[in-house]
Amino acid sequence: MTLTRTPATPSGKTAGGIAVPRVLRLSAVLVLMLASIPLGYLVIRASGGGFDAAAAVLLREKTINMVFTTVALAILVALFSSLLGISSAWLIQRTNLPVSKLFLVLGTLTLAVPSYVSTYAWIALIPNFAGFWAAVFILTLTTSPYVLLASLAALRRIDATQEESARALGLNSVAVAKRVIWPQARPTVSASVLLAMLYVLSDFGAVSLLRVDTFTRVVHTMYKAAYDRSAAAVVAIILVLLAAILIYTEQRARGKAVAAKSGLGSIRLAPKVDLGWKKYLAASYLLAIATASIGVPIYVLVTRFISVSADINFSDLITAAISTLSAAFTGALMAMAFAIPLGILAARFRSKLSSWAEIGILLTHALPGVVIGLALVALGSNLGFLYQTLPLLAFSYAVLFLAKAVGSIRNSFARVPKVYDDISRSLGYTSWQTIRKVTIPIAAPGVITGFLLVLLTAMKELPATLMLRPTGFDTLATEIWTKTAISQYGQAAPYALLLVLVAAIPTYLLSRPDRAQPE
Q: Which residues contact 139 (CB under 8 A, 6 or more apart)?
A: 73, 77, 81, 115, 199, 200, 203, 206
Q: How many domains does the chain have?
A: 1
Question: pLDDT of 96-126, one tens digit each?
Answer: 888 888 888 888 888 888 898 899 889 888 9
Query: What are the CA-CA distances from residue 147 to residues 90, 108, 303 (Å)?
Result: 11, 10, 31
Sign of CA dihedral 439, 183, 150, 20: negative
Task: Evaluate if residue 3 carries a pLDDT over 60.
Answer: no
Can you tell me the mean pLDDT for 432-438?
A: 68
Residue 517 pLDDT grade (very low, low, confident, very high; cuts 50, 70, 90) = very low
Domain ranges, residue 286: 22-511
CA quadruple 96, 101, 106, 112: dihedral, nearest 10: 140
**Residue 274 maps to a domain:** yes
Query: Residue 294 gets which letter from DSSP?
Result: I
According to the model, what pLDDT value does residue 284 have? 94
**Residue 496 maps to a domain:** yes
The amino acid present at 483, given as its one-letter code, is K
> In whole angstroms, what separates CA 292 from the centre of its chain?
21
Question: pLDDT of 10-65, one tens digit each?
Answer: 445 544 455 667 777 888 888 888 888 888 887 887 777 677 777 777 778 888 88
Question: pLDDT of 456-511, one tens digit each?
Answer: 889 988 888 888 888 888 899 888 888 876 667 778 888 888 888 888 888 777 66
Can you tell me the mean pLDDT for 319-329?
A: 93
In whole angstroms, give the CA distance from residue 166 to residue 169.
5
- What number of H helices and E strands is found in the chain? 27, 0
Task: Evaluate if residue 150 carries a pLDDT over 80.
Answer: yes
User: Among 158-167, 250-259, 326-335, 363-372, whose mean pLDDT is lowest?
Assistant: 250-259
Task: Evaluate if residue 82 carries a pLDDT over 90.
Answer: yes
According to the model, what pLDDT value does residue 2 have? 40
- Residue 70 sits in a domain whose CATH number is 1.10.3720.10
According to the model, what pLDDT value does residue 228 have? 59
Q: What value does the mean pLDDT of the chain take?
A: 79
Selected residue with higher pLDDT from 16 and 376: 376
Q: How far apart are the first and last CA of the chain?
A: 28
**Residue 16 maps to a domain:** no
In whole angstroms, give the CA distance from residue 376 to residue 365.
15
Residue 242 pLDDT grade (very low, low, confident, very high; cuts 50, 70, 90) = confident
Residues in the chain, overall count? 519
Residue in 468, 492, 56, 109 with CA at minimum distance from that of residue 294? 109
In whole angstroms, give the CA distance from residue 406 to residue 22.
19
**Residue 443 maps to a domain:** yes
**Residue 152 maps to a domain:** yes
In whole angstroms, give the CA distance from residue 156 to residue 93.
8
Bridge partners of 19, per DSSP, are 13
**Residue 10 maps to a domain:** no
Q: Is 181 helix (H, G, I), strand (E, B) or coil?
A: helix
**Residue 379 maps to a domain:** yes
According to the model, what pLDDT value does residue 270 have? 65
Do residues 346 and 407 touch, judged by C-beta distance below 8 A? no
In whole angstroms, give the CA distance from residue 462 to residue 464.
6
According to the model, what pLDDT value does residue 15 have? 46
Can you tell me the mean pLDDT for 301-314?
A: 79
Selected residue with higher pLDDT from 294 and 515: 294
**Residue 421 maps to a domain:** yes
Rounded CA Rg of the chain: 23
In whole angstroms, give the CA distance from residue 118 to residue 289.
13
Q: Is 273 helix (H, G, I), strand (E, B) or coil?
A: strand
According to the model, what pLDDT value does residue 426 have? 65
For 100-202, where are the alpha helices, taking DSSP H only?
Answer: 100-109, 115-125, 132-156, 160-168, 173-176, 182-202
According to the model, what pLDDT value does residue 516 have? 42
Nearest-10 crossing angle of helices 182-202, 229-254: 170
According to the model, what pLDDT value does residue 139 have? 96
Residue in 200, 193, 297 with CA at minimum distance from that of residue 250? 193
Can you tell me the mean pLDDT for 274-292?
A: 91
Q: Which residues contact 304 (CB under 8 A, 6 or more apart)?
A: 124, 489, 490, 492, 493
